[in-house]
Structure 1
Amino acid sequence: MPALDSSALLVARFLRSNGYEKSLKTFLEEANLDEKSLDLGPGGGLTIEEVLDEKRQFDLSLALEKVAISDNDEPEFSIPYPSIPHIVSDPGIPASNVLFVSVADIRTLGGPSLLATTADRALRIYTARAPYKLLRSHTHLHPSAILCCAVLQSKWLISTSMSGHVVISDAASGKVISSDKPHVKYAVKVLAHDRLPYVVTSGYDNTIVLHSLTLGDEGTPKLSELHRLQLSAHPEGMSFVALPTGEEALVYSLRDSTFLHYHLLAPSLPVHSKRNLAPTAASWVTFHAMSILPHLNGSSLLGIVTSSVPHMKFLLVRVDSEEVIMEVFTGAPQSAYSTAVFGWRVGGDGVWVNGDDGVVRGIERKTGKVVARLKASEGGEKVRTLWTGIVDGREVLVTGGFDKGIKVWVPEGVAA
């Protein structure tokens, strides 16, 4: 006998209760159902009307949730926010698509530094404060374009590239300390843990590699492969998180999958859990997480932006659970080739998300509303990368993209 909530039973009972006898007879034959199976006894089974009512209640609860999703004392999208752009450029450098930007403290270069990688294989370092002077231009690190970069001990750089290489170099001198190829192609992300001796890289060869980080005899960093995850699809979003148990973990997503995968941060990357975000998401649009970042206040919240055509979604979820607290359609247009990225505002009251239309959108965490729009590309070219944080005590947003430009955004009334 079919389950009481079987779709076939629901349709058959609807036809019988509404007097569609001819249609019912034909449907029972085609669905291979016995008419006796429609008699479910007292209180048995759902009706189509009840299913529709459940759907209406579900939609209403989501609408209410977006109005009051969190504590009443949660801050709004604070003002002033970064909105005044300052162009970072050097007349002697040919323009090229910007693939990655970040800001880090590099002591050997005098403090906060802006890192940018471009399609011409270069990794350039500028001062992170006006007049954004070019400090270094390294074009020899990789045989292909650099996709991601992390800083170690305010001195060393770990960079990954389209060719699958992972390179450690001296930020100031550009000296290559080591060059390995743990991925067949497209080493897209690198994470360096700030307290544990681990570095994680991911590639479009369907692998994630955990490396140990040690210091050699001369004090130079060295990577050694500890464990390799062979995956069923391309890894996309990836982040370190603290689990509710207090354990450190790696969380990642896969292309065309609504699951988040959690592995404990240990030499063998043991599997911890696998959480599906789709059952509690507000819509049934196919998506996968493209970028994952824990909330800045140390709580058990994850921000996620998705690949979901035609528009990016922002999700706020509980760590190591399937609870989706917020789901927002950002209005940022996407295609199958989009690379969604975002950054938390320094107070955690909102996020900045990129867009294929050249616009960076500010989303308020409390309401889920898009409350700010920054035209990062005058010609509407894709914003490929962004970074958010504090430089010299002020909130800063850095953007880069296919208009071949880098912009540093500061709040109105704040010196560049």
Structure 2
Amino acid sequence: MPATDSPAIILARFLKANNYIETLEIFLREAGLPLDAGSASKGDLTIEKILEEKKTFDVSVSFEKLGIDDDEKGWRLPEGRVAAERRDHTKYVVKVASWEEPDGVWIATVGWDAKVILYRLNWSTQESGSIDYHALHTPIASISVPTNPEAILFVQHPEDKNPILLLARRDSTFLYYYALPDPSNQTAPGTPLLLGRQNLAPHSNAWIAFTPSAIALCPTDPSLLAVATSAVPHMKLIIVRLLFPPLSSISTGPHLSSDIPTAPVSLLDRQDPSLPTQASQTRAALVVADRENTAILIHCTTMSPQTAYSTPTLAWRPDGSGVWVNSDDGVVRGIETATGKVVSTLNGHEPGSKVRCLWAGHVGIQGDDDEVRLEEWIVSGGFDQRLIVWRVPAATDG
């Protein structure tokens, strides 16, 4: 027997509902349907329902064409045109970060040409109150690194509140802190200065343990960083306290791990007590490693499967209580930042498909009483061509 929503069954229902008995008998015989075909129960599809849905569809299409309140909801003019275009990387640009200031914005791009390029987009406020955006000119500075950059982020230095560029690169367990050049000096702004670096595996004996592939600042504590690593077969998550190098690094050189001399002191030089000995260098290195190890609050396994070709990503919950991570098995996992335990799994993507991108945050929802309340939403996109919006129920929702 054909499916209950097949054209033959729907037509048989119409004939039987309207008492076309003879026509129904002939139709059932010629269509090869059983004698009880055409019996309708509650919820079955009928010709009347199809026509009703068609009319509703036509009305919705006409509304889309005509529009309602076009002045408020229509396409704004002038139209999202190309304001500026640059081609300064020689290979793919993989990450972009920005930092807004009163007189402009810093833009940093990283590419697979092992370069970080810094732009400065300045603007001025006109008499009408509108912002006049200037073109994106030649890069202010660039940083060449030994391996391709993996993640980049602007963070605020706690001493002078100026932005610091935080960089993670492939095949390195370090976070690199760079001071930005002076944007007011247009002729010779200088180059970003390496202030210091912070090891995320200070006591590891392996040459390369992992790569920090994705980084994100905690929304409630700007000194707390979540790091998704390239570890296989399962992603590992690190929650670490940022160890900002002191601003004296600008004049005295980089601090933290990179301030430890690597060349041994000769026997003749050891006669000078002001010079470091090999033992003192070892003790200094151990002190730095202990400090970096103490800064790591959580180092846990997320149970999210990945390979060397995966692209880890993560998103903080807006209250800072947890981190969502992607995976290659189609599952979004929630990690509790206090314990490092997997406390939630979101199953909506096709099993075995990669979850490629994540976003989490608060969304304002207007209720029946016109009061706007904040709801926590998660958005995930995957290789299964699905974009899923997850709503976190409030405590009162049960």
* TM-score bucket (shorter structure): 0.5 to 0.7
Of 164, 169, 177, the match for 1:262: 177
Aligned to 2:216: 293
| Counterpart check, 1:408 vs 2:389 | yes
- Alignment gaps of 5+ in structure 1: 1-108, 112-134, 137-154, 156-169
Structure 1 equivalent of residue 360 of structure 2: 388
Return the offset for 1:298. 3.2
Task: Measure how far apart 1:361 and its partner are.
Answer: 0.3
Q: Equivalent residue of 1:193, what SS?
A: strand
Hey, what's the Cα distance between the residues in 2 that align with 1:329 and 1:284? 20
- 1:343, 1:354 → 2: CA distance? 9
Does residue 176 (structure 1) correspond to residue 49 (structure 2)? The answer is no
Letter in 1 for 2:135: K
Between structures 1 and 2, the one with greater helix share: 2
In 2, the alpha carbon distance for the partners of 1:395 and 1:372 equals 15
The gaps in structure 2 that reach 5 residues or longer are 1-70, 183-190, 245-291, 365-373
Provide the rounded CA distance (Å) in 1 between the counterparts of 2:207 and 2:88.
36
| Shift in alpha-carbon separation, 1:223–1:280, aligned structure 2, 3 A | farther
Q: Which amino acid aligns with 1:177?
A: A
**Pair 1:397-2:378 in alignment:** yes
Q: Does the 8 Å CA contact 2:359/2:379 hold for their aligned counterparts?
A: yes
SS state of the match for residue 220, structure 2?
Answer: coil
Alignment partners' CA distance in 1, 2:153 and 2:122: 21
Q: Secondary structure at the match of 2:202?
A: helix
Name the residue aligned to 2:136: 223
The C-alpha deviation readout for 1:267-289, integer Å capped at 9, x for no partner, is: 43211101222124699972010
Distance 1:285 1:183, change over 3 A: closer
- Give the Cα–Cα distance (whole angstroms) in 2 for the partners of residues 219 and 278 of structure 1: 46
Of 198, 204, 228, 2:112 maps to: 204
Bigger radius of gyration among the two: 2
**For residues 244-275 of structure 1, what are the alpha-carbon distances to aligned partners after superposition, in whole Å with 9 as ceiling and x for unaligned?**
43442111111111111100133432111012
For 1:234, the equivalent position in structure 2 comes to: 148
- State the structure with bigger RCO (CA 8 A, min sep 6), 1 or 2: 1
Q: Is the 8 A contact 2:172 2:208 kept in 1?
A: no
Aligned counterpart for 1:358 among listed residues 330, 333, 343: 330
Deviation, structure 1 residue 300? 1.8
Q: Deviations over 1:172-207 (max 9, x none)?
A: 724112221121121011111133621111111101
Alignment of 1:239-254 (within 5 A): 239-245=153-159, 246-254=161-169
Q: Which residue pairs with 2:341 in the alignment?
A: 369
- TM-score for the superposition, normalised by structure 1: 0.56
For the structure 1 residues 301 and 402, does the alpha-carbon distance in structure 2 shift closer, same or farther, using more than 3 Å as the test? same
Give, in whole Å, the separation in 1 of the partners of 2:348 and 2:165: 32
Change (3 A) 1:324 1:406: same
1:328 to 2:234 alignment: no
The residue identity in structure 2 corresponding to 1:329 is T
**Is the partner of 1:176 in helix, strand or coil?**
coil
- Answer yes or no: is the 8 Å Cα contact 1:379–1:403 preserved in 2: no
Counterpart code for 2:393: E
Sequence identity, in percent?
38
The equivalent of 2:122 in structure 1 is 214
What corresponds to 1:342 in structure 2?
A: 314
Match of 1:28? none
Which position in structure 2 is the counterpart of 1:4? none
Equivalent pair of 1:262/1:320 in contact (CA under 8 Å): no
The aligned counterpart of 1:24 is: none
Mapped to 1, the partners of 2:205 and 2:343 lie a distance apart of 21
* Structure-2 change in CA distance of 1:369 and 1:315 (3 Å): same
Aligned residue runs from structure 1 range 117-156, under 5 A:
none
**1:177–1:244 distance in 2 versus 1, CA, 3 Å:** closer
Secondary structure in 1 matching 2:83: strand
Superposition deviation, residue 110 in structure 1: 7.6
Could you say what secondary structure the match of 2:132 adopts? coil
Which structure has more strand as a fraction of its residues? 1
Give the distance between the partners of 1:373 and 1:174, measured in 2 at CA.
36
Please say if residues 244 and 319 of structure 1, whose CA atoms lie closer than 8 Å, have aligned partners that are also in contact: no
Please tell me whether the aligned partners of residues 98 and 154 of structure 2 are also in contact (alpha carbons under 8 angstroms).
no
Q: 1:356 to 1:223 in 2, by over 3 A?
A: same
**Residue correspondence of structure 1 range 107-126 to structure 2 within 5 A:** none
Query: What CA distance in whole angstroms lies between the structure 2 residues aligned with 1:379 and 1:345?
Result: 24
Say if 1:364 and 1:283 are closer, same or farther in 2 by CA, change over 3 A: farther
What is the RMSD of the two structures over their aligned residues, measured on CA atoms?
Answer: 2.9
Give 1:379 shift: 3.2
Residues 288-328 of structure 1, C-alpha deviation per residue, up to 9 Å, x if partnerless? 10111121123421111101111111101121262312101
Greater Cα shift, 243-252 or 373-382: 243-252
Match for residue 240 of structure 2?
A: 317
CA distance in 2 between partners of 1:328 and 1:358 (Å): 20
* Alpha-carbon contact 1:237-1:291 (below 8 Å) kept: yes
Tell me if the contact between 2:332 and 2:345 (Cα under 8 Å) persists in the aligned partners.
Answer: yes
CA deviation string 1:83-105 (max 9, x = no partner): xxxxxxxxxxxxxxxxxxxxxxx
* Distance change (3 Å), C-alpha of 1:110 and 1:255: farther
- Measured after TM superposition, the shift of residue 376 of structure 1 is 3.5
Query: For the Cα contact (< 8 Å) 1:212–1:226, is it kept in 2?
Result: yes
Q: In the aligned structure 2, how far is the partner of 1:110 from the partner of 1:285?
A: 55
For 2:145 and 2:204, the matched residues in 1 are separated by: 24
